[in-house]
Structure 1
Amino acid sequence: MGWLQILLGGLVIAVSIASLFKFYSAGFFLHHEDICQHFYHVSDADDGFDLRALSDRVGEVLDRMDKLQEKLEKTVQEMEKSKVDLGKTTMTRLEHKRFLEQEEIRKYITPKENRVGNMNIYGTERIYNTIGHACVLMKKELEEYMDYDIGSYCKDDWSLSQKLMVNGCDPLPRRRCLTRAVQGIFSAYQARIRRGAIRNAPAVFEMDKEKLKWVTNSSLAVDFLIKDVLAIKPGEIRIGLDFGVGTGTFAARMKEQNVTVVSTALNLGAPFNEMIALRGLVPLYMTLNQRLPFFDNTMDLIHTTGFLDGWIDLMLVDFIFFDWDRILRPGGLLWIDRFFCNRKDLDDYMYMFLQFRYRKHKWALSPKSNDEVYLSAVLEKPPRAI
């Protein structure tokens, strides 16, 4: 048995030596340059081949792969965050999916990445377009509003857009269509009034009566004059906000006193915005739902009349008043003009007005009816220590 193992071992050694000899003859034990010469008959294996350029290119590809990996990880994190945020809302995943079915809505609300660099002028990596949270509750109306031919004329659907706004779909998404120019809209409105097509037209369109407001004496104690209010802070009232519904008469009278006033307006049954603009004044098209688009502590005066009355919810009033307080500068004036409510609710609203501890300059009550009262006041925002 031993001699058989010796014989097999010798045979293996012989075969191995023969194989090594053949590999050596083929040139497999030469340097890589010699291998190239042996097989391809070239004089220099490095001719025309830049190893450094190849190394740099490989490094560049690896860097790009790292960046893509980072971007992918960020995207995954944002998707996970979106899932969490979606889970916290009352909107189901199915509702969210259906809400995004309309192509133009999806394009609008999708975050827009910056094209150059990581940060833009605002210090963010992308821009998020805003849309009112209640838009999802008015999906049909919103899709109708966003159904248009890009670059063509928009439909004459301002009433639809205002319906969306006052029902909480505010701000509305931007659109990529051209607004139709309507000529003589106010003249047409007046003509309809004369023909009797519009009954009970708002009294604010009676310009002969409007021009007397806030400049002539009234029999009611709640009617303050502009000159008396401006005398409280002589030379200090320069800009202000008129929060109400009207044709801009208050702003027009203040303009005569070199005070610039922006007027909020909605077209509630009449072209209020167009009328304000025709008078060379600035209409601010917004609803009660919206945070005022002014920076903190910038307004010298806030005037309100004919809009915030006893119909409004106390919690909503509270949010609105705090927003007014935010934009009114210390020393600025809050002019509450002819606010009216039911007598039994007066204490609640008075608390709303007085909770900020503003200084009283003017304060007057007057009966409106047996059950309702008027309240007018001019209050000064105090400087607050931090």
Structure 2
Amino acid sequence: MGPHKLPLGIFPPIGSDSLLPSFGAGCLRLQEELAQHMTYDIGGECPVDDVFAQKLTLKGCEPLPRRRCHPKSPSGYKEPTPFPDNLWSTPPDSSIIWEPYTCKNYKCLIDRKNKPGSYDCKDCFELEGREKNRWLYDNGGLDYAIDQVLGTKPKGTIIISSYI
């Protein structure tokens, strides 16, 4: 993939004599980074490089080439607690791969409500506070009550958690 030369030379509105394809063209100038992103064992576990992949995307290399590896699984994963015991209880730390995140456990996420700075969801993990009442009732808007969501699937098959 490379630039396409225009048959009549320089086209004044774009100030160029060639066009780059819009799909994946940003990756052409990021060859070293792209090679690093694509270095992995085929069929093995993908490296945890979410931040690096996001940087490539932000630099214009989008979409990223598809990799032939599977995502890392959390070590010591435990099945979620069945309903209704899973409501308003913090999941075990082993339920998530914490490597790409600043916080490395749920306690850190819960405690960030007391720290300076702004987050999209500063107190979302403090399940005894505002978050608990937020999802109990249908407010008539775009939000759904938990009972409505749970009623869409068989008991014990929905995991209730917050997005990190």
TM-score under structure 1 length normalisation: 0.23
Higher strand share: 1
* Structure of higher CA gyration radius: 1
Q: Which of the two has greater helix per residue?
A: 1
